[in-house]
Amino acid sequence: MSTSTDNNASITQESGPSAAVQDIQKKIVVRTADGEVFNLKEEVAMEIDIIKTFFQEDSISYETVMPLPNVEGWEMVKVIEYCTKHVELKHKVDGYKERKAFQALFVQNLSTKSLLALTNTANYLEVKYLLDFLCQAVSEQIKNKDVDYVRELFGVENDFNDEEYEQVKAEAPWAHENLNNDLH
């Protein structure tokens, strides 16, 4: 019975009597860029708009494995984790604290670069509330960092010459003090 309440994505290896129990709830199968295959519960899959559109608009059978060439396996794991929690909390009346605790844990071991990759993915997959949350999480991580740090993080080239840069900086020197470049 534990497999039917398993919230983690897993590579399909169903066999035996428990598989029959699982099949009562429909599953949608996707394959990520690295070839990994994921079994999603229908209600979780429908949280992901790109998947929802794929299957519902064109009435494609759930037998089809949907390819997601722009998504890495680890990203899919995280997205499924978040959406599953979201679905779970939908039915709870007072889930605020739980949601906050979950969100803190969710980003805890993610580097800023991973967060950015995940933000991209959430945008691609069209999961609005996850995108909301991730934009907020990225902003938390860049908010007190200096210009060089953020530039390097986003891979943006400095196209100001020295004079131009000083000019822009001089418009608001108060914004450049009290910064903290510690990596989380």
**Token pair in block for residue 19:** 């598989």
* Rounded distance between C-alpha atoms, residue 132 and residue 137, angstroms: 9
Helix residue ranges, H only, 28-72 = 42-45, 49-57
Q: Which of 6, 14, 23, 34 binds another protein (CB under 8 A)?
A: 34
State the nearest-atom distance from the C-beta of 60 to another protein, in Å. 20
The count of C-alpha atoms lying within 13 angstroms of the C-alpha of 148, restricted to the half-sphere facing its C-beta, is 3
Stretch that binds another protein, among 7-15, 18-26, 98-106, 153-161 (CB under 8 A): 153-161
151 membership: H or E segment, kind and range:
helix 147-154
State the nearest-atom distance from the C-beta of 177 to another protein, in Å. 6
* Rounded distance between C-alpha atoms, residue 135 and residue 166, angstroms: 29
Q: Which of residues 93-132 bind another protein (CB under 8 A)?
A: 113-114, 116-117, 119-124, 126-128, 131-132
Q: Which residues bind another protein (CB under 8 A)?
A: 33-34, 49, 69-72, 74, 113-114, 116-117, 119-124, 126-128, 131-132, 135-136, 138-140, 142-147, 150-151, 153-160, 165, 168-180, 182
